[in-house]
Structure 1
Amino acid sequence: MTELAATFQQEAVAEAYQHRPPYPDEVFDRLEALITDEPRRVLDIGAGEGAIARPLAPRVEHVDAIDFSQPMVDAGKQRPGGDHPNLSWQVSPIETADLDGPYALVTAGASVHWMPWEETFARIVPHLTPNAQLVVIEHGPVDMPWWDGVMQAIERHSRKKNHDPKFSVVEAIRERGLLDLSGTARTAPITYRQKVADYVEQFHSTSSLARDLMTPEEAADFDTTVEEAVRPYAKDGVLELKIEAELSWGRPRA
């Protein structure tokens, strides 16, 4: 896991991250609604290039975006909203970050599973307002008729061979006694149109499929296999994706 996590410090991975689909607007409406305390400050842990922090910053008093990858933070600063005055960036593991709370909300988008949970929660809990919630957000395309073909490429080239599709990081954190779950919600689907080439490239923003982990021949085989799987479903070289997000929130415990 440590070796795979290190791939997020590669510039090519940070560059490919821009091709991941955006979070639906409903995610940010729900995040706003979960803030009940003042000040309306948000801590985004494992922020990456700010896919949550950047759209959320104009809606709240302030967002502190923390990530251990300098290339990710550098990329986020250059992307839309990355220079918003309500947004501060910090390159650091969350368990040793300089925090400027109190925070009324903590967000984590597909990042908590990379963190040392006990140390992370021990770090953030003292900096929370009385009713602050931690929200774990997962999102991505659903109902893809081409997925079996894509999975062939993933299984052949992924550096993570023990992936358990049934694993729930939220349930694992609850079992450790680190989260009192308050609620869950799934957003309504949105339509996102993406060029086939960009759809292929976004896979290289993941820890197990980064280009630097593959030989040029492997990367070419992966790209060709995925493109052949999705091409019959594209119109004029563009795929129509249905994007949904799932939010799980509760009170974190040290």
Structure 2
Amino acid sequence: MSKFIINRRKFLTIAGVAASAVPLSGCDAFDGFLSGQSPVRDFLASANGLTYRAHRMLIGADTLAPEFSTSEIRQGQRPNGSTDPVDADYLALKETAFAGYRLAVGGLVEKPVSFSLDELRNMPARTQITRHDCVEGWSCIAKWTGVQLSRVLDEAKVKPEARFVVFHCYDSMNLGLSGAVPYYESIDLIDARHPQTILAYGNNDQALPVANGAPLRVRIERQLGYKMAKYIKGIELVSTLAPFGSGKGGFWEDLGYEWYGGI
């Protein structure tokens, strides 16, 4: 007799397809399922812990996500979530084609640093054609070009007590009556130093479009799309995620999503 096996990735895909009839804004299709103590929320919580432990135990720190050929790029990268920030600081940078942009790197580092886009582009680049898997159930293959996050961290000299990388972003997300809050996301240092984790400034051989996160977004190819913060303003090295938002590690995580979105 065959066994029915459902893993986290299949569950999320099925859930995403089922939710596709619901109008989507960003990744909020599951808010009702993921809040409180719903069975879906409980299932994902247990699956998330299992996925994280399994990935760390069975998959090498440098094991690569699948990469594809140029011929497999069927369309432009699908925009999702916030696609045109209206924060004043961002709009000012956008007006000058991001000429004044600087990426600040601080927190638990020996040498706080900042980089212009030109300085980032002049670092050794990595180009990869990978598949973006969204929690909503869709995927998209695209080419990304950027600098490996590990190179940027090495420039700042990360302190031993640092455990996480927090991405602070220019866009704000509306929480209804609570107003808008700055978007943020985080990963651990294992994923931060993965060879395919890059700060992307290029998409499909063009400058990164605003709709996809210009001037800079992170690509974390072994995790789901909601982990890949766009419109990055700064990077902070920390030992705990407790001081940020509700302490869950990211905007969507504060609303009930799992912190580790491994696939």
For the aligned pair, the TM-score class normalised by the smaller chain equals under 0.3
**Structure showing greater relative contact order (alpha-carbon pairs closer than 8 Å, 6 or more residues apart):** 1
Scaled by the length of structure 1, the TM-score of the pair is 0.23
TM-score by length of 2: 0.22
- Between Structure 1 and Structure 2, which shows a larger proportion of helix residues? 1
